Structure 1
Amino acid sequence: MASQWRRDNDDGPADRSPHFFKIILPNAVQEGKLRIPDKFVQKFGVDLSDMAFLTIPNGRKWKVKLTQHAGGVWFQNGWSEFASSHGVAVGHLLVFKYEGNSQFHVLIFDATATEVDYTLDDEVQVHRIEDDESDDSSVEIIKHFYRGEGLGSAHPKKDGGVAKNLVIANAFKSENPIFTVIMRPSYLNGKDRASLPQDIINYLPRDRFTKDYTKASILPVKLQIVDRLWPVKLYIYERRGGSSCVVSAGWSAFVRENSLQVGDVCVFELIMRDGVLLNVHIFKCQD
């Protein structure tokens, strides 16, 4: 998908609109808010109101409240709805282009560094917070932050090394197809399931799938670390918005016996050898 803010033509001037990016870490998912980089706020905070507008490439616009606390400025009220509607998860990367007047264009990349598909399905309704009267105190707080007040009290939470861990994992190379997954709380809480990148479906032998009562397509596979194997099943679900792939029926045993934690990165290397084998390379998240 072409970036919405590429140059209009190759001969024209480069786009000088300010940008910043954010890697989604566990605390952003758990707390339902996302911190705007301090340096950006120092430079452009005087231009921000208490309400931001986020536009994605399919043209949908979202209203998200800006708040100030812990020495920083955050996307908050409305952020969780925006993130969940677009499947934003730990390890995703979001690029924000600032257009002025609290208007941001947003690109979303998944943990494989691939831009996501922005659904145009009419069944997916954009959830926006209701129009509020302008909160003058919020605007003033952001302007104070712009002038540098409050910076000394900023205490960003540790990310547990997730960003650094993801960089290390993404450096892994193989001649075989590989798929990167960052461990989320929902993958480790005993539900015996985790989502795999959608692209893996393109490499699987569809003639080996069977169907079950859920109408999912099921493929038995094995997870391997060194010389040990864990039998699991892949479930492929076909929906109007696209396909999804879930590993289950043995996943919880793999999680438990390898002591996986939130923020760990698993690189799944697909090997076709007497069936489907996923060689798993685990990159542990270090504080």
Structure 2
Amino acid sequence: MSNKVKLYPNSSPDSANRTPYLDLVVPDGRNNPCRCFWTQLQSGKIALTRGWEEFYQMYKINLDSMLYFTHKGNSTFQVQIFDFGGIENSYQVRDPEEPPYVRTGNYEIAKCINIPPSASARAVAAKVKSKWPFFVMDLTARMMSSRLLSNVPHLSHFTGQRHPLILTHGHIEVEATYTRYSGKRDGSFGVISGGWENFASLCNFKTGGVGVFEVISTEPVTIIQVRCR
């Protein structure tokens, strides 16, 4: 969404005391809004939080989807959803028993997208049940004391060299930057910096564990949810 769009969290007199939200509607003629709350990042952009997961599961949004937001007034935005080939979504509500992703690009449901670096990481990866693409990494003493999280697998929706993202763990959200390796390094990997050290400290992660990094959103910003096993 453009930062030129003026957002109206709500229209009531005490709106300053309420959590800001957007009402998302799809062009299916029913105009049934899906309320998504949002938080403003230090960069001036916003990240959709509570309610967004239900929205993208309902309309089968995945890593290859393209979303077009049109401001319809106040807090309402119409969202058109297109797949990688430019075909618009049918906007048929997903069957609750149907998994939100069958296959997106090179990803398959509940598959680890990196090669686990150790036996313990492989054991964790084999047990993870996630509807999002994920990768696993050993939380070594060197990693926990570093400002950089290296050897992060390159995600298919990253087309350039540097990309902003958000690391989340429970209620903790920290902005960071993904930088892809270049030159003699393997370009299929990169590093997360500018936030990793602070994030690991806030989450109180301990050495000896295994981190599970789930890519839970790429629009409007890439969000990686981190769990420690």
TM-score (norm 2): 0.44
Question: Which protein is richer in helix relative to its size?
Answer: 1
Larger Rg: 1 or 2?
Answer: 1
- Name which structure has the greater RCO, CA cutoff 8 Å, separation 6+: 1
